[in-house]
Structure formats: C-alpha cells, structure tokens
Amino acid sequence: MFIAPAVLVLVAALLVAGVLVAWRDGRLNPVICGGDCGPENAIAPTGLRSASTAPASVDGAPASPTDLDAVLASAKSSLGADVLGDHVGLAVGTTDGDGPVVATTTDAFVPASTTKLLTSYVAVSKLDPQARFATEARLDGDRLFLVGGGDPYLTDKRQKGDPKVVRADLATLAASTAARLKELDTRAVTLGMDTSLFSGPDLSPDWPDTYVRDNVVTPIEPLWIDRGMVDTENPETTPRVAHPAEQARDVFATYLRQEGITVTVDGGLTAAPDGARTIGSVHSSTVAQIVESTVRTSDDEAAEVLLRHLALAAGKDATFADGTAVVEATLKGAGISTDGLVLTDGSGLSRANRISPTTLVGVVRASLADARFAPVLDDLPVSGFSGTLADRYATASRGWVRAKTGMLTGVHSLAGIVQDAEGRPIVFAAMADDTDRSDPFGARAALDKVAAAIAAD
C-alpha cells in the first residue's frame, strides 16, 4: 500500500509533537528516567534563566503591584480549602529583588522544611561553595584517631549507583591509612574517635525525644556513615543509629583489620592531641553540591550539619543556637525581612520555628539575584519532575512550579517560583500550619492548587 510522503511527514510531526508535550509535562519521566528526571530536564518558565548562568530576568515589563494583587486574588480561593484550616498565608513578588511583594498576612508560621531555604542561602553566603570537609586519620605514637570533619554524606564503602554527593568513604580512608602505618612500621594501634568539631547537644531540645527511635533524624555529629541509617535500602523502616560516631569508628576498625593492622578500640571519646599528625584523609563533595542535595531531597541531617559549619565559619561554637543566630544575622544583613522569625534548627524539624511567607519570598528573590546562589535554586524540586515534587501536580502545571516543600503533621508549606498567566516568573510562598491532620495528602494537594492557581493552567 502506497502512503504519500506528505502523510508520513505529517504523522512524524504529530508523533514528535506528542513526545515533546509528554516530555514537557512529565508523563515520560517513568520511561526515560525511572521516575525522577531532575530539574535540568524540565523547561524553565518563560523568561527565567538558570541562576547558575545569570540572575533571573523577565521578558517584557515586570509585574506591578496591581498585577501581583491580581495574582494574589486568583490564588485566594484555593487558600480557603477546609483541609488547610484557619491559619494560612500567601506572599507573592517579582523576581526583581527591589520589586514589590504582596501578602495575605504578616503572620509567621511553622515552616517545616522550607526552613532549609534559609539555611542553604546562608551556607552559600558564608561558606566557600567549592570547600570540602575532610574526615581524617591522625596518629600520635601508636594511638590512631578517626577525626570527624562534618561530612554529611560520608559512607562506609562507595557503591555503584550512589548519588554523586556521596564522595568520601571509610574503606578508602582505611586503605590509605593502613598503607601509611606500614610505611611507619606501625602494625598495631589503639583506635579512638574525635568528634570535637561540633559542640552542644546533638539533638535539639525543641525536637520530640522520639525522633531518633521513630526514624525521623539521626543525632547530629561530625562523624557518621550513611547519615546514621542502619539500612540505607529501607531507611523508612529502620531506626537510626543512636551513637553514629561509634558506629563509624567500629566500621573503620574493621576495614583497618582487613588491611592487616591490629586494632584495639578505645571505647571513650578523646580529642586527638595537637601534636597528632594526619596520615590519611578523604574529602566530601563541595558545599555547593551538598546544598543542592539538601534542597532537592529535603535532607534534614545535611541541613543540620551545614548549620554547624555556619557557626564555625562565624567563629562560634557548632551548636543549634549559634548556627541559627548566624542565619538570622545574615538575613538581616542582606536586607531580607525577618519579622516574626524564630529559628531553633536548620532543618525545620522543630515546631518552635516561625517564618513568614514574606521572609521566604525574600530569600528566594535574593538567591535569584546573584549567580553564586545557584546551588540554592537550580535544584529546587520541579512539579512532576524531581525531588519532593516528583509525584505531585498531575495537571498542566507539571514543570512550571519550582519550589521547596515543607511538611510536618498539620503543617504544609511551599516556596519557590511559578509562571503566571502572563508568562512572568512569580516568587511565592504558601503556608498553612493548622491543617486537617487526618488528611495530609488532601492538605498537600490543596496547597499545590494554590501554586497552580498562580500558574497558567
């Protein structure tokens, strides 16, 4: 049967167009990427360039206060969903840091994981984005110390398929350390651990004391493997390690023995003496890569480790209190509104935290204004494509919402960038902290509709 070339061309064009549409709205994610295609594969809102290449720009005139009032009005009806409760708030603003911001309320809310936007922004402000954290083996006579350097993604042994942010491992450190010990004609050591980099409590007094046994978070120490998860294949069902530094020390001892070193484990906690020399080290991914992972996967442990590095960089103790003080001071110094701000941790696990939607909008806008803050925004979860938004937005809004999520029982928040009906990127933050606890998925969907109401559905 003869088929006219024109018909074949038409069919091919329709097929290509269909594939492009399916790619654009995320329907091909399960086929192409196994579910999460990453933000780099979603088409950015019109006029919004990647923060890694340049500050955000808008094609045409930016939104005016009147325009933002209209955007706010179109989203207000979605804020009234019963499942969201009575305490809800929304702020919207232009991508221009000096442009207007309008909000439904001046209240501050329990922010949940949108707190990580603040921690990540300040991490890039105060730390060298290319810096790496070292885990070291230091020798003093026949006493060997495993010294924690605050690498949030240190692992026992790197595996094929590990995320790119997982860079340093104890097996590699043990091999190089053992080789050096043999060069020094030292075949037997007493192994201790040094966690003196961090100080203060390893669990926030504002966290429920059930968080560790309920597998919510690991005690925050500068030395651990796999973020204190016993079973990384099934992290949701396996309790966290109560003493992660001890686990890391014991695993390191095992690897040293496999390398032919006789090891006696020192059960105490002793800082390596000043005269101890470094005979082995492994280094983490860069601060920029750690921030990207923290934002994309909403990593609580990594956020808390970054908070302690912020305190250290400011010459303070590596504690919850000193880290959050640095965050607040940095935001104020950048001209970002901190009205109503209360911070007791860097991850958002604490219900004592309070952040206003206007503050979140300010942080996102400040991140858009300078290319060095690319790690904060370039890996924001994309609706229907990546991270904590990979399985959300089953409508035409897929690919158009780029936002950090936040969720605790009765708390839902969303902050980031969405394209409005005129094709302009709008910075937004939607928050609710008195939602129907019996219907978390309904509350999440209702908040998604707020962002979708701003978008051009």
May I ask the CATH class of domain 29-128+293-454?
Answer: alpha beta
Domain ranges of the chain: 29-128+293-454, 134-285
18 vs 12: CA distance, rounded Å:
10
Tokens linked to 327: 């965050």
Beta carbons within 8 Å of 426's beta carbon, 6+ residues apart? 63, 68, 71, 92, 93, 94, 95, 417, 418, 419, 420, 454
Contact present, 382 and 440 (Cβ < 8 Å): no
Tokens linked to 388: 């904590």
348 vs 328: CA distance, rounded Å:
14
Per-residue pLDDT of the chain (457 residues; tens, 9 = 90+): 556 666 555 655 555 555 444 444 444 444 433 444 444 444 444 433 344 433 333 344 566 666 788 778 878 778 889 999 999 999 999 888 777 888 999 999 999 999 999 999 999 999 999 999 999 999 999 999 999 999 999 999 998 888 999 999 999 999 999 999 999 999 999 999 999 999 989 999 999 999 988 889 999 999 999 999 876 566 566 678 999 999 999 999 999 999 999 999 997 777 999 999 999 999 999 999 999 999 999 999 999 999 999 999 999 999 999 999 999 999 999 999 999 999 999 999 999 999 999 999 999 999 988 888 888 888 788 766 766 677 665 455 666 688 899 999 999 999 999 877 777 788 999 999 999 999 999 998 888 888 888 875 4
Beta carbons within 8 Å of 110's beta carbon, 6+ residues apart? 351, 353, 354, 408, 411, 433
CATH assignment, 134-285: 3.50.80.20
299 vs 56: CA distance, rounded Å:
26
Contact present, 379 and 387 (Cβ < 8 Å): yes
The reported pTM is: 0.85
Strand partners, 264: 190
